[in-house]
Amino acid sequence: MREISELEPKRVFWYFDEICHIPHGTGHTEAMSDYVEAFAGKHDLFCYRDEYGNVLIRKAGSEGREDERFLILQVHLDAFCDGKDQRLACPENGSSPISLATIDDYIYAKGGPLGADGGIGIAYILAVLEDKTLSHPPLEAVFTVDAEDGMRGVLKMDLSVLSGRRMINFGHFSEGEILTGSAGGRMIVCEVPVRYVSEYGVLYDIVICGLKGGHAGMEIDRYRGNAALIMGRLLHYLDLYMDYELFYLKGGMHYNYIPREAKASLLIRQEDINRLEDLIDRFNEALLKEYRDVEDNLTIYCENKGEGLVNVLTEKTKQRVIFLLMMVPDGIQRMSMMQENIVQTSSNVGIMSLNQDTFVLHIGIRSLLASEKHALSDKLQFLTENIGGSFHILMNYHAWEYEEESPLREELIEIYREMYRVDPELTLIHSGLECGIISDKIRDMDIVSFGPTIESVNTSKERLCISSVERVWQFLIRALARIKG
């Protein structure tokens, strides 16, 4: 096991280690904004920080290149935290920073997500801004906040402060690829009213767990189980064969992520105990067959909680809840005709919750085409409102659409070809990137995205390829030496 201080490029990994010791979960990036702002002051660089925490740093061009146009380097400051591992979250929760370790050619965090999504891009940019030996045009380094929560930082940022019209984003995680477009998205909330009555009976908890989950932009094409919708199927299945009442229903943590767990609580008659447990066993057996090539740890179990008096949903509102869960579009809706194996449009039911007055679904829609995003949103609105519910759009962002002409992209292809004697792969991604918002606000922006290989991003198995970081660093500094901003 190598020490982080031994890894090359040394300054990149030095900054990455520093970043990992600063709490910077989405919504709690004040310390990271402070750190970046202090960095600019230490190196006598122009710095602008807005009221939301977004930071802009400018560095003059290297000797002989002072009069070239600005080149933008962009990354987000926040790391995703899933509610279970809060070490990257915020100092107020009393958590300790993550502990880094290496195995072979990979760096990982002991016991949780690494935070390399964003973190390694920040390290690259700070290493570039610090280095006085590199050849580069004038640089604008843009550090945005809350990208993992609807990209709120860049949506609020006044981008008129930017002078550059060419931009390198560090939001891609596969070395050898140059990203040329990303999906637009919309976060919506579907609510249906519910009513309760008091009933007495046997209380049962049902839990679905052990699913892999994953990011709905990067892993929706893995066909992994959605715990919330599987629970909806189970409730419908039980309803076909026995009477029960429903009084608790919850699943998922974030609209961007496929739910790994869900829980429901039922009220049944004493004489139906064996029937319930038998039906759940049969359903579990069927699900294991369905997902045998996808989910290797899927578990469905129930627990008798004894007898009691509780408030349960009326039959009418229970059926409304089950209907919505059974009918809501989820997963891949359409594959791209432009590029093979790329998802064009999808929907992810990320959070479900049964509350005092409403049953609520938080759904993330993504599409490479604005028209399909709007059409899917309209379908969900029509479905929800026709069963007496309400529909709300909480957040909307534009796709970064592929541009036929991109001088920056062509320059990078040529540099990559010279370095490796092969062309990089040009690709699109179903995840949303801040590039879409920036390209919508500044229509003449020429954008590319690339980065080192990061596996299992934002999961406990996340790991960063060490040699890939070095190769991408060499590609980056070669590009800075050649690109005319």
Task: Let me know whether 387 and 464 are in one domain.
Answer: no
Task: Let me know whether 334 and 445 are in one domain.
Answer: no
The CATH number assigned to the domain holding 256 equals 3.30.70.360
Of 397, 423, 438, the residue that ends a domain is 397
Asked whether 256 and 217 are in contact (CB, 8 A), the reply is yes
pLDDT at 43: 98
Which residue range forms the structural domain that includes residue 32? 4-183+400-482
Task: Let me know whether 349 and 462 are in one domain.
Answer: no
Task: Let me know whether 431 and 316 are in one domain.
Answer: no
Asked whether 142 and 72 are in contact (CB, 8 A), the reply is yes
Task: Let me know whether 378 and 477 are in one domain.
Answer: no
Nearest to 154 by CA among 392, 447, 373, 369: 447
The CATH number assigned to the domain holding 451 equals 3.40.630.10
Of 375, 397, 419, the residue that ends a domain is 397
d(CA 429, CA 207): 33
Task: Let me know whether 316 and 177 are in one domain.
Answer: no
d(CA 87, CA 80): 11
For 445, the token pair is: 């922006």
Nearest to 83 by CA among 275, 299, 261: 261
Task: Let me know whether 354 and 427 are in one domain.
Answer: no
Task: Let me know whether 272 and 414 are in one domain.
Answer: no
d(CA 104, CA 121): 22
Which regions in the chain score pLDDT beneath 50? Answer: 85-87, 90-91, 93-94
Task: Let me know whether 156 and 8 are in one domain.
Answer: yes
Asked whether 79 and 120 are in contact (CB, 8 A), the reply is no
Using alpha carbons only, give the angle 250, 255, 257 rounded to the nearest 5 degrees: 90
pLDDT at 94: 45
Task: Let me know whether 287 and 256 are in one domain.
Answer: yes
Task: Let me know whether 404 and 393 are in one domain.
Answer: no
Task: Let me know whether 191 and 148 are in one domain.
Answer: no
Q: Which helix (H) or strand (E) holds 390?
A: strand 390-397
d(CA 456, CA 111): 14
Asked whether 246 and 312 are in contact (CB, 8 A), the reply is yes
Asked whether 22 and 3 are in contact (CB, 8 A), the reply is no
Counted domains in the chain: 2
Of 397, 414, 434, the residue that ends a domain is 397
d(CA 20, CA 475): 24
Nearest to 174 by CA among 368, 431, 399, 404: 431
Asked whether 298 and 287 are in contact (CB, 8 A), the reply is yes
pLDDT at 137: 97
Using alpha carbons only, give the angle 87, 92, 96 rounded to the nearest 5 degrees: 30
